[in-house]
Structure 1
Amino acid sequence: MPSPRYIRFLLISLFTTFALLSHASAAQSLDDIQIARKKVEDALSQHDERLAYLVDRLERTQAEINEAQRDVTEQETALEEAIAKAELEPGDVSARSATLASIRYNRSAAKLERLQERQDSATDEIASIKAHQIELRQQRTQLISQAQKLKAAEAARAANPAPAAISAPIAAPAATIDIAPPAAPKAPASWPSTEDESPDSVAFAKQTLSRLAAQPQGEAPLNNVRLNHNRGRGTENFNYLGNNLYRVDMKLEGGMWGFKIYNQTFWMSVPKAMADQDFVLIYDVSGKAKLHVFRASLLN
């Protein structure tokens, strides 16, 4: 009896990581650096928690695989014996025994296959998380270096204050006309996120989705847009909304998620307070591809 063929589905490798944080060089002050570094530390902490869970899962899965392999061997031996007996003693009883032995063997083989797929999935996710951790640690190093440079520059300015300027004779003040400064332009509204659930963002999402639902979708710029992620197997299919926007709804656990669409991976974090809720994922290809993720309950 030939051994069963175990089909292993490997998670798609993460070729590129969409920036979770702004590049370290974008920080202009110590406060900016502190905020960016906290985000990096939070992401690393979430990765550590997920890795601890996955390592424990791998150990438990390996123990189950060992037991399943023994069971497959036993069922294979029993099947061979049942087939041999059916050939020597043809009849309904021996044929039924061989059939039952075949069913038990197939069940054992299928269980072993599922366990090995689970093992492969956890192994691949561990690899992708470790790759992202390397990038995050590099960002942290850049932020620390930039903070040290800013502190050194401030210390140098404090040690060498600029000479006091010689005051010029004060002329009589000229008559002035008070002109009200122009109002600062309001930042354009955008999609909400796990970090921004402001009324303006929520209103933007509701209005945009309502407008798209009331108009023809038109021809989609991309066909068969699929989503893979680092939390398991399977593929989610996006629905085209129109105006270069795609949507899919998912329930998300807490922690770090890596969503892969084509060759881009978008990393984002789901806070524990939002864990196990339904989320809306909007894939925007109107310019540089973006993925907007927010709680579905905001639309209610």
Structure 2
Amino acid sequence: MYRFVLSSIFFVWISTVNAAPDPVLSQTLQQKQQELAALTKKVDAAAAVLADEQANLARHAEGLEEATQSLVDAEREMKAKLLAAETNPDETAMRESVLASIRYNRFEARVKRYTGRKEESEQSVAAAEQVYQNLAKQQKDLEFVISELSSKRDELASKKVAASTNVQAAQSVSAPAKAAEVVTPVAAKTEAPKAKVSIEDAAGVGTWPYLSNASEQDIRYARTYIAELEADKAKGEIDSAPLAEVELVAKNSFGKSDMDYLGDDLYMLTKKVRAGSQRFALFNKDYWHTIPEADDQAEYVFIFDVSSLSKPELFLFKKSLIAQ
């Protein structure tokens, strides 16, 4: 009887130990979650800076376009006034030709001014965009690490609970028959539940490539993800499109073009692009990107993600990156 009581006390102690979470793992997970919170603030701040720079660029681009048109009109007027003054050199004609020349010079200076501002804004947008993309990638990588740590913690906790249950079962069976014998518990094999595998899981963890830059993981992610969705679409296994029509506007590259629904809240378009900083417009939102000089006339893949209609995202990358 005395030994049976001791055995029961041992079972209570071992159950408590097994149920406790791994302190090192929990501390690491907590630290990573704090890092993610701080990094998320940086991503939001970088996104705000990028939006401001894009707004400045749009304003300067619009100002340059208006100033250029005004310069064309002023040049036409100046030539007409100068010709009139040469044909009939009276005081009125001479005065009008001088005023027309002054207006032309003023608009020419305005075009130069807006050109300089636009070039500076393009550099600022490119720098802000690079900062944002780097931080966003760090954020996704850290989210993956946290997910892995959480899964590991839950897995260890499940194993410890299972071990405690096996100890209890062994104690209950052996105690009445052999009160003096201490039974060593043997953990039974438990089959892990099969989780549903999504297309993204099949593709592996990664992010979309950006312009001409991509890691092997990102290339594999994009290639597999697109291939799976296209295969499902070919078999007619595609969800309904959240938006009836999606038109991508790229004035500096290809004008306007409709995007095809790929499935999984993604729209896709493949088009040749021109090099340089330019605006890609979707609905009422502008996305500014700088296409490298080496990619002039290269085919680019555009992915429009509307999984969040309030915060849609546009991804673009060189098609040859994912070529088999």
Is the shorter-chain TM-score for this pair beyond 0.5, marking a shared fold? no
Q: TM-score, normalised by structure 2?
A: 0.39
User: Higher Cα Rg: structure 1 or 2?
Assistant: 2
Q: Which has the higher contact order (CA 8 A, sep 6+)?
A: 1
User: Going by fraction, where is helix more abundant, 1 or 2?
Assistant: 2
